[in-house]
Structure 1
Amino acid sequence: MAEAHQAVAFQFTITPEGIDLQLSYQALNQIYLSGVRSWKKRVSRVRNSLIKGVYPASPSSWLFVAIGILATMYMQSDPSMGLITKIHSTLVSSDHMTFSQSSTMVSALVFSTLLWLSLILALRFCLKLLLSYHQWMFEKHGRMSNTTKVWVPLVRLLSSRKPLLYSYQSSLPHLPVPAIQDTVSRYLESVRPLLTDPEFKRMSDLANEFESNLGNRLQRYLKLKALWATNYVSDWWEEYVYLRSRGPIMVNSNYYGMDFLYVTPTSVQAARAGNTITALLLYRRKVNREELKPSRVPGTVIPLCAAQCERMFNTTRTPGVETDVLQHWLDSEFVAVYHRGRYFRLWVYRAGRLLSPREIEDQIQRILDDASPPLPGEEKLGALTAGDRIPWAQMRKQYFSSGVNKRSLDIIERAAFFVTLDDEEQGMRGDDPEGNLDRYAKSLLHGKCYDRWFDKSFSVVIYKNGKSGLNAEHSWADAPTVAHLWEYTLATDAFQLGYTEDGHCKGDVEPSLPQPQRLVWNIPAEAQVSSSLAVAQALADDVDCHVFPFREFGKGRIKKCRVSPDAFIQISLQLAYYRDRGGFCLTYEASMTRLFREGRTETVRSCSNESCAFITALESGETEEECRRLFQLASERHQNLYRMAMTGAGIDRHLFCLYVVSKYLGVESPFLKEVLSEPWRLSTSQTPVQQMNLFDLKNHPDFISLGGGFGPVADDGYGVSYIIVGEDMVNFHVSSKYSCSQTVSNVSVSWSSETSHTVVGNHIYTRQYSQAF
């Protein structure tokens, strides 16, 4: 092969005249340039470690401290109160210095360094104290307390320097362990509207017994963990909720993100892949160099934890019999590509240089034009990642631990990310745009069950008509982190990289680029890929997905009512579920805890006494004034619950960790067992939008994001994801299971002359109240 010859730096042959040495200067130059890139990355990592290590100060501040100390000494003053003299005597007595003047200078510099480090520690401690203050979240708009008025400028002052991506990590507070009586009290309050009086009495007795006996013992162990652990929840949450799950991660855990709703920048599949892969690699470069701005609470300077960005690329989830493991590599210069049953390795760097979008397009087109058939067992190999985890772990150990199978599997798992070149067309198109959107969502959620690699941190899907999307594995990060990545990718693709008039990528093509490398497999006929595929196919066939762009009104009108848009939507979902099923249910709303170091999520139990009171009043025909009052109380209660979850005063993560401790101690708790077995029949999540403000949605209204979605958590429940886009639109993703006769995701619209409401699956917006408030 031509590319193999180019990879050889030198050759030699032995002849009667001696040794004939032939050097390939082109190959040596490629090796040299790759080495330069590697060293540049090392230097960059060291530099960034120094900069973020002294934040909120700067490395150059040492010079100002040293000059200040030397200047005061020159003025015959001792700012160290005798410490410089002690350092000087130590240096002289140890015979390290022979000249008094030079030893005095070094002593002053040593003291300056110690003083500088002390000041840095003091600044970081002050910043940590400031970031531990969360009362500002609970203050009403326009009613700022005096404490908060002082706190805001202090935070701005200590955050004035331009931070790197991870600069705030060591200054973020640790997640506090709530008092056990507070958690139990909040739990009982959250389930009160869901239980009858006898049921609530029984649960209260269980809770009180747990709090007074076993709970205190478990709490002591949990507090002990919180003393030394960075975050007392995250490691157990990752291991026991995600990695120890033995069922399929497809649908049950992985989630998806969609392309623009109305716009497809190009219909050329290879070109869209070229720009998308380039944009993702540019984002990875920013992550590696820590050039991304730290995410913040919207509208504030309060930073959020960036730890989830560390495993975004070059990461895979490897199966095990008892538990899976997340594997992460520092770097990877290639991506893995799947097309029509074949796997390829696509090098995206050439001698340390990132290929241009046009070069990547050219390489992708080579894969699309490759007519070679899949090897035996290769086409549906990806189904192993879609089925149950134990069979995949056993198959991996038996058939993929050595030889060509191991080498090919290593390439997929070590790749920067996974790319699927899908041979279908998707998007809102044709005579049935609504149905096509639903099929688009199902395709991204599970595809054909074998044409995605569900173990990768994320898989990018490029469809035949140029539409794109992604499927993300959940254990390494939550949706807002992936949404940040995907937002950058879409905006960079459309507004920075762009396309030529004929829809191709911009840039030049180096003619000597090697062909993409076909991966080689030797899969025995007895390898039971079909059993994993059957499990995955049954799961995929049971998922009912519906995507619904709601255009009647959006957050613009809701805000005029002086109501939180998120609270409005959550109460609407409660009303929808009540009308759908005739009662209330335990409702999960994801909230972040990234105000704390290594924070992930907490549960907002959106079904509250106040929301149930409003819905009951509305359905029983109470007066408009009374319903309006109850609605206001319900929305305020929801906002308070959300803020408590964000600030570490949630319910479910604390109880989850207490349950883990009980398992380690080998003790049973009827209360914890019952709490953790309760089904979440309504699981909801809001997808953030415009986190980076890379383009103006007002000037580009067609570039509306569809957001993303996930599968239902309970077999008889709904999974609802929504994204609030602009001022006049909300996109919903609803999922349920066909096997449950009581749930349906597809749209059904009915109008009531009395309340004028729209019902969308299990979504309801009460238009009467949006206009009345």
Structure 2
Amino acid sequence: MIIRFLNKIKHFFFQNRLAHSAVAFSFQITHEGWDVNLDREVLHLVWQSGIRSWKKKVARFGNSIHNGVYPGHYRYLFLLVGVATAIHFNGYNVPLNLTNRLLHLLPGSSLLWQMVACVLTSLFYWLTAIYMLRYILKLLLMYKGWMYESRARSSQVSLKTKIWFSLVKIFSGWNTPKLYSYQGSLPRLPLPPLPNTMQRYLRSVKPLLPDNEYKRMEKLADEFQNGIGKKLQWYLVLKSWWATNYVSDWWEEYVYLRGRSPLMINSNFYGIDALFMHHTKNQAARAASSIYSLLVFRRLIERQELEPIRIQGVVPLCSWQYERTFNTTRIPGIETDKICHWSDSNHIIVYHKGRYFKVIIYKGRILKPCELQVQMQQILDDTSAPLPLEDKVAVLTAGERTHWAQIRRKHFNRGVNKVSLDAIEKAAFFVTLDDFPYEFDMSIPSKLDNYGRALLHGKGYDRWFDKSFTLCIGENGRIGFNAEHTWADAAVMSHVWEWVMTSEVWEHRADAPIVAHCLEYLITDELENRFDDDGNTIGKPEVTPPTPVRLNWDLKEIKEAIDASLKVANGLINDIGLRIFVHNNYGKGFMKTCGISPDAYIQMALQLAYYRDAGKFCLTYEATMTRLYKEGRTETLRPLSIESAAWVKSMENSNITLDEKVKLLKEACKRHQTGYQDAMSGNGIDRHLFCLYVVSKYLEVDSPFLKEVLSEPWRLSTSQTPHGQTTRLDLKKHPNCISAGGGFGPVADDGYGVSYIVAGEDLIFFHISNKKSCPTTIC
């Protein structure tokens, strides 16, 4: 009986190739005893994995010390020890006579204990100085007056702001900051006073409401402010002091994780390749190059060697969102999902023609592009057919979340399905090698539209929408990504994508600090292409890369579940409209000559376009960041204002002179800029109201005002894709090395999703989405 049971276990582990690669030995029981066979290759992989894990632990420990004492440095501790020791042994007293006081507390006064007292004295002064520096830096970073000043010319910056910038530079230290060095010095997101938020809200909705409706809203706001609002605000005050950020955890939980609708189109967003640069048409080579760039970026995050983003090279932005860029998956739940992040992963998952492959990306080091290309080519050359329903299993991640959670719990908790699902969810990221090209032709706009649709939703079953992001490679070598939104905002993924775009024309040496290499690049100004004349990656493999291994599945019991999710996914795909416009008549160069912010200029154009299309105004959403504060994410900027409405109406009135229209436009843009600055400074409207609503739900109290505010649809949801966040490449000299931006689905069924990227002095990309089923919207 025992022998039969053990043999069943052995048969279970070795019935497929994936399971075979997951263990380092095999065994069987015979009449002669135990027969044990060791797999040296797998044992070597286990050994290398352990070595890599310990290296990371050591690096993280060192980084923790560096970040914990930043802007100080431990070298100053050694200097203080030397100074304190010299003072003490020359018969002088250090300040506060601390060394002698410590000697009275120590067991003895021998030479050894005197040295201990000197070290402890130095440690005390060192830590005191560090915390004073960090506290002063935090106080300096709380000041946001600099944002409200024009920085177009040095003469327009006040003396106060110039002094402030100088102080921030001084107290930021002279050491090279690591990714998380500034986290301890960033201030908390301030909680706006309730009356201020109410005043801003009423001002923002005035253009939307008739006079009688506006008076009713004023009454509701007044009742709320002087009633239950005071109690709700008091709870938020407590949270703002206790929690690191009073918004971010609730925003992630209630806006993202508790959403039960499909992620595809509704939540996930996409990004497109640099359209004016086509490095290679070799799909395997481009995939290998992009994968390598992402793995180097991951290593920079793990080692914290990635330089934190600083506005004008001085004011730091919060970096906490970078931690979950890789090795991260959104796990479905019955009522709420959760984000799972693993500290390490030595593989990626590649999907091609309905098959899933586990690809090892390390062999003592990160595999080079030429070695990764071998693996990608092996997958492309594989002619095996998908297992039954294997090609459609990813559609479960595109359907309703509760449905996916139920199926996952019942059918993916054991056997080969669990092994394969674990491999996907614990992968560094997901890769799709599509069997069709991503095309771009200025003379055929529909090709770019199809490019965007391929990245936004694909076929509905060829992207793993739960992963932090899916890297997509077209048959012709163009690339893109589809990203899950919970783990971070688009600005972080844009930074990742900017790295990938620039890496293919500028090779980053992974063993060199990023800042030093940036300086080297700026001096030499030379570009290095990663591909040869035949489109293959440069170089020859130095090691034999591990062969990709097919994942195994047993899906016959969930055919109906897959069909149900496929029906939902196809419904969403058939209903989404997407157009990508390339505007190259003029760009930010002309806008700046008008003395107008490019973002404000475009937002005013969108207001005018919507008004002319719909004959009315709508509530408009523009995302802006709050990463000037610790764990900050986004805030809502409301582009529709009293001033913008006045300008739009003037454009429809032929009796108003051109000079008056220009004046109204500038006033509207100035108002927009102020709103942008308020939102970034923590004085926004919508996150505050959202948190008040969450507190009201916890307290089980109803607020007619909050209920009405939170139910208002965002019919025009907009976002600008940031670029040029790093100094890796001079985009003025090499303007083609920039992504065409990305997009997302509409927030409201009767609205538009509008994303844009100001890609150059004379180039803007617009990504506009809508629901085809809505008769009032059209792309």
TM-score, reference length from structure 2: 0.91
Q: Which of 56, 68, 71 is the aligned partner of 1:53?
A: 68
Q: Deviations over 1:386-418 (max 9, x none)?
A: 011010000001100111111100000000000
Aligned letter for 2:672?
Answer: H
Contact 2:49 2:346 in 1 (8 A): no
Q: Which of 14, 37, 57 is the aligned partner of 1:42?
A: 57
Q: Deviations over 1:193-227 (max 9, x none)?
A: 11000000000000000000000000001111111
Correspondence 1:215 to 2:229: yes
Aligned in 2, Cα 1:87/1:380: closer, same or farther, shift over 3 Å? same
Q: Which of 437, 440, 454 is the aligned partner of 1:428?
A: 440
Contact 2:359 2:546 in 1 (8 A): no
How far residue 526 of structure 1 moved from its aligned partner, in angstroms, is: 4.3
The equivalent residue for 2:318 is 305
State which drifts further: 593-602 or 499-508: 499-508
How many residues are aligned here? 737
Aligned letter for 2:373?
Answer: E
Partners in 2 of 1:319 and 1:481 — Cα distance?
23
Correspondence 1:74 to 2:86: no
The equivalent residue for 1:127 is 137
Q: Which of 490, 493, 515 is the aligned partner of 2:547?
A: 515
Partners in 1 of 2:474 and 2:62 — Cα distance?
41
Aligned in 2, Cα 1:174/1:21: closer, same or farther, shift over 3 Å? closer
Partners in 1 of 2:156 and 2:320 — Cα distance?
33
Aligned in 2, Cα 1:20/1:246: closer, same or farther, shift over 3 Å? closer
Contact 2:465 2:484 in 1 (8 A): yes
Gaps of 5+ in 1: 746-773
State which drifts further: 35-44 or 333-342: 35-44
Aligned in 2, Cα 1:392/1:5: closer, same or farther, shift over 3 Å? closer
The equivalent residue for 2:179 is 165
Aligned in 2, Cα 1:346/1:456: closer, same or farther, shift over 3 Å? same
Q: Deviations over 1:465-500 (max 9, x none)?
A: 111100000001000100000110121124326112
Partners in 1 of 2:622 and 2:644 — Cα distance?
14
Correspondence 1:611 to 2:625: no
Q: Name the SS for the 1:199 alignment partner.
A: helix
The equivalent residue for 2:122 is 112
Partners in 1 of 2:505 and 2:467 — Cα distance?
25
The equivalent residue for 2:330 is 317
Q: Deviations over 1:487-545 (max 9, x none)?
A: 10121124326112111112323574432111111113444111111111111111110
Aligned in 2, Cα 1:6/1:138: closer, same or farther, shift over 3 Å? closer
Contact 1:3 1:515 in 2 (8 A): no
Correspondence 1:451 to 2:462: yes
Contact 1:313 1:457 in 2 (8 A): yes
Correspondence 1:148 to 2:161: yes
How far residue 346 of structure 1 moved from its aligned partner, in angstroms, is: 0.6
Partners in 1 of 2:17 and 2:677 — Cα distance?
61
Contact 2:498 2:738 in 1 (8 A): no
Aligned letter for 1:153?
Answer: S
The equivalent residue for 2:483 is 472
Q: Identity over aligned residues, as a percent? A: 52
Cα-Cα RMSD: 2.2
Aligned in 2, Cα 1:335/1:82: closer, same or farther, shift over 3 Å? same
Contact 2:358 2:549 in 1 (8 A): yes
Partners in 1 of 2:212 and 2:727 — Cα distance?
52
Q: How does 1:341-360 map to 2 (within 5 A)?
A: 341-350=354-363, 352-360=364-372
TM-score, reference length from structure 1: 0.92
Gaps of 5+ in 2: 1-15, 508-528
Aligned letter for 1:517?
Answer: V
The equivalent residue for 1:440 is 451
Contact 1:377 1:525 in 2 (8 A): no
Q: Name the SS for the 1:208 alignment partner.
A: helix
The equivalent residue for 2:389 is 377
The equivalent residue for 1:601 is 634
Q: Name the SS for the 1:317 alignment partner.
A: strand
How far residue 373 of structure 1 moved from its aligned partner, in angstroms, is: 1.2
Partners in 2 of 1:315 and 1:671 — Cα distance?
38
Aligned in 2, Cα 1:140/1:465: closer, same or farther, shift over 3 Å? closer
The equivalent residue for 1:628 is 662
Aligned letter for 1:421?
Answer: L
Correspondence 1:268 to 2:282: yes
The equivalent residue for 2:687 is 653
How far residue 25 of structure 1 moved from its aligned partner, in angstroms, is: 6.9
Contact 1:697 1:704 in 2 (8 A): yes
The equivalent residue for 1:744 is 778
Q: How does 1:588-737 map to 2 (within 5 A)?
A: 588-621=621-654, 622-737=656-771
The equivalent residue for 1:180 is 194
Q: Name the SS for the 1:683 alignment partner.
A: strand
Q: Which of 283, 308, 323 is the aligned partner of 1:294?
A: 308
Q: Name the SS for the 1:82 alignment partner.
A: helix
Contact 1:262 1:428 in 2 (8 A): no
How far residue 607 of structure 1 moved from its aligned partner, in angstroms, is: 0.2
The equivalent residue for 1:250 is 264
The equivalent residue for 1:491 is 502
Q: Name the SS for the 1:81 alignment partner.
A: helix
Q: Name the SS for the 1:723 alignment partner.
A: strand
Contact 2:501 2:739 in 1 (8 A): no
Correspondence 1:399 to 2:411: yes
Q: Deviations over 1:54-81 (max 9, x none)?
A: 0000111111222222232234221232
The equivalent residue for 1:533 is 566
Partners in 2 of 1:343 and 1:692 — Cα distance?
35
Contact 1:684 1:719 in 2 (8 A): yes
How far residue 37 of structure 1 moved from its aligned partner, in angstroms, is: 2.5
The equivalent residue for 1:505 is 537
How far residue 272 of structure 1 moved from its aligned partner, in angstroms, is: 0.8
The equivalent residue for 2:205 is 191
Contact 1:254 1:471 in 2 (8 A): yes
Q: Deviations over 1:727-756 (max 9, x none)?
A: 1111111111111121112xxxxxxxxxxx
Aligned in 2, Cα 1:452/1:15: closer, same or farther, shift over 3 Å? closer
Contact 2:294 2:496 in 1 (8 A): yes
Aligned letter for 2:114?
Answer: T
Aligned letter for 1:516?
Answer: P
Aligned in 2, Cα 1:215/1:381: closer, same or farther, shift over 3 Å? same
